[in-house]
Structure 1
Amino acid sequence: MDALTRLVQQHVGEGRSLRIREFAERAVDPETGWTPSKSLVGNIVAGHQVKVSPPLVRAVAAGLGVPLRLVQVAAAAQYLGLTLEKAGDDRLAYGLGARPTERPESAQA
């Protein structure tokens, strides 16, 4: 699952609401001031694997104007295999291929 790539591709690139240059200018980590290069943004849009870090995730959220948690979940899904399943009003997180019934009791939300 390429959740982070798809999230960025929905908003950034040719024919989207943001061009790569515009996104790169907006994508500033509010904690550190770090910003990804246009080439790094281009690699994300192109679907290439990139080194994910907390500053990158925060910068992507700022650049897209979306909640940080959305980008964190997308990055975890793409790079760690985390999946989320809606169960009633709760969201249960389980990852790395385990189904909720396979999780140890201590891992249940």
Structure 2
Amino acid sequence: MTTRDTETLADLMSERAGKRGTTLPTWEQVAVKAVDPVTGYQPSPNLLWKVASGQDVKINRKLVRAIAEAFALPLERVQIAAARQFIGLDVDDPWDTPVGDDDGVVRVAHDRARKGEDMPATKAAVERARRGRGE
């Protein structure tokens, strides 16, 4: 089992479907629910299986939205898992900002090897935006 900080789209999907001999739905059953609410696009059971098994597929917004719908998951969580799996990005707060009462949420997509101290220009942009809001 993975955590939300490390899960890929394959992890997220394979934990919820496709395991024969269990009560989890089949990919055919998942495909019925996998409909992009924006375009009506509906991926095939085979495409869903490919994504869940970690194969390279053409990833796009309508597929990601359809997967989020199929599993009733927040779209942002599915998008982050897809970014992690298909382009190798982590999406997080690389500065481990302490939690406060008036926090704005900052997430940065970055190469896994890069840490907050490796991104001074990004941190400066975040600080400028924060100052611009009067914080």
TM tier relative to shorter chain: 0.7 to 0.9
Amino acid at match of 1:93: V
CA-atom RMSD, angstroms?
1.9
Written as runs of structure 1 = structure 2, the 5 A alignment for 1:28-107 is: 28-85=35-92, 87=96, 88-89=98-99, 90-96=105-111, 97-105=113-121, 107=122
Three-state SS of the structure 2 residue aligned to 1:17 is coil
Are 1:5 and 2:10 an aligned pair? yes
The TM-score with structure 1 as length reference comes to 0.86
Which structure shows the higher helix fraction? 1
Which runs of 5 or more residues in structure 1 are unaligned? none
How many residues are matched? Answer: 108
Contact kept, 8 Å, 2:27 with 2:45, in 1: the verdict is yes
Larger deviation: 10-19 or 20-29? 10-19
Distance in 2 of aligned mates of 1:23 and 1:73: 20
Distance in 1 of aligned mates of 2:76 and 2:15: 17
Distance in 2 of aligned mates of 1:51 and 1:16: 29
Contact kept, 8 Å, 1:13 with 1:19, in 2: the verdict is yes
Contact kept, 8 Å, 1:61 with 1:67, in 2: the verdict is yes
Q: Which has the larger radius of gyration?
A: 2
Three-state SS of the structure 2 residue aligned to 1:83 is strand
* Deviation of 1:72 (Å): 0.5
Contact kept, 8 Å, 1:28 with 1:35, in 2: the verdict is yes
